[in-house]
């Protein structure tokens, strides 16, 4: 089996202790090799997803019966938009562990495969109740994305309305949730509200995980100028003022007055619902039974559209 080069400073000890414990079922030398490849997956997945994918395939060939390896392979495939492959790996990892923590990303794979109705079905499944708060918020984001895939903008907006969205406290999910809400409002033509929520996303986005600041500046008509590019333009402009003397073959200023110019010048359950009047629903943003919202909204869709809105009809966050 062909191996990929791994820097000497990668020992394999960098991985999570739970993963190291899983790898203890392997011979020591093999466990070390697998762990080093998993470290490379983690290092590269954001900046070089193709490289991360290559390392994940090696780890998978070495230890396909280890759940953590299947999960890493799934995320590497997901980062490369290989949604069918990612979903297969996530399902394998879930069968091995019995955990539901991969449920939101599995649902997003369904979106990527062009099956938003399947993602919505997963959003209303009992597994969601077993997720922690962060994963429930992630599931909400996926459900809202599925609604938008199906051109149900009002339903997407209401799906994102939740106590987590209304809370003034800043949590790890706050920036992405507020950003998604602002983006949905903007898509629905509610620019004033969208601007307000983009601003809230900026306030909570301490790590720059979204481009909320750029979106807000764009709405305000602010245009950013690359200083380096501007300097290059200035230099090009100065060069344009110089002509070549055909007779002497020397460079002379095109204008005598320019001859002395100085060279140094100067970003729970899910409410997969729709609504006839989103403004009325906004008043209920701070609470309520989300599953009831699902049922009520689906009834609304039946009344309004004449069907259930879940016929055949595609993350990726970074989300």
The residue among 240 and 129 whose pLDDT is bigger is: 129
Beta carbons of 300 and 278 less than 8 angstroms apart: no
Is residue 118 over pLDDT 50?
Answer: yes
**Mean pLDDT across the stretch 291-304?**
42
> How much of the chain, in percent, has pLDDT values that exceed 70?
70
Q: Would you place residue 224 in the very low, low, confident or very high pLDDT band (cuts 50, 70, 90)?
A: low
Is residue 306 over pLDDT 50?
Answer: no
What's the DSSP call for residue 255?
A: S
Question: What is the average pLDDT score of the chain?
Answer: 80
Q: Which of 141, 86, 139 is CA-nearest to residue 109?
A: 86
**Mean pLDDT across the stretch 137-149?**
98
Q: 37-73 pLDDT, tens per residue?
A: 999 999 999 999 999 999 999 999 999 999 999 999 9
Q: Alpha-carbon distance 242 to 246, whole Å?
A: 13
Is residue 94 over pLDDT 80?
Answer: yes
DSSP symbols for 262-318: -TT-----------S-HHHHHTTTT---HHHHHHHHHHHHHHHHSS-S-S-------
């Amino acid at each position: 089996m062909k191996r990929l080069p791994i820097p000497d400073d990668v020992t394999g000890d960098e991985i999570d202790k739970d993963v190291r414990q899983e790898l203890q079922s392997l011979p020591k030398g093999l466990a070390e090799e697998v762990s080093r490849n998993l470290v490379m997956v983690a290092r590269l997945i954001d900046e070089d997803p193709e490289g991360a994918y290559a390392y994940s395939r090696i780890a998978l060939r070495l230890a396909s019966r280890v759940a953590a390896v299947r999960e890493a392979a799934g995320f590497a495939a997901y980062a490369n938009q290989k949604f069918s492959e990612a979903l297969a790996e996530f399902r394998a990892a879930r069968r091995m562990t019995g955990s539901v923590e991969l449920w939101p990303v599995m649902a997003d794979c369904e979106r990527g495969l062009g099956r938003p109705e399947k993602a919505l079905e997963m959003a209303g499944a009992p597994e969601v109740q077993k997720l922690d708060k962060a994963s429930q918020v992630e599931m909400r984001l996926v459900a809202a994305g599925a609604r938008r895939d199906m051109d149900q903008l009002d339903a997407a907006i209401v799906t994102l309305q939740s106590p987590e969205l209304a809370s003034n406290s800043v949590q790890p999910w706050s920036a992405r949730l507020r950003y998604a809400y602002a983006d949905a409002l903007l898509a629905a033509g509610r620019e004033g509200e969208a601007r307000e929520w983009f601003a809230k996303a900026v306030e909570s986005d301490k790590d720059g995980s979204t481009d909320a600041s750029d979106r807000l500046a764009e709405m305000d008509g602010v245009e950013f100028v690359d200083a380096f590019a501007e300097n290059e333009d200035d230099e090009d402009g100065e060069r344009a003022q110089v002509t070549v003397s055909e007779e002497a073959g020397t460079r002379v200023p095109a204008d005598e007055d320019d001859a002395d110019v100085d060279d140094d010048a100067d970003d729970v359950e899910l409410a997969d619902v729709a609504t006839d009047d989103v403004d009325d629903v906004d008043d209920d943003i701070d609470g309520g039974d989300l599953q009831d919202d699902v049922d009520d909204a689906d009834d609304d869709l039946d009344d309004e559209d004449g069907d259930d809105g879940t016929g055949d009809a595609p993350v990726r966050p970074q989300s």
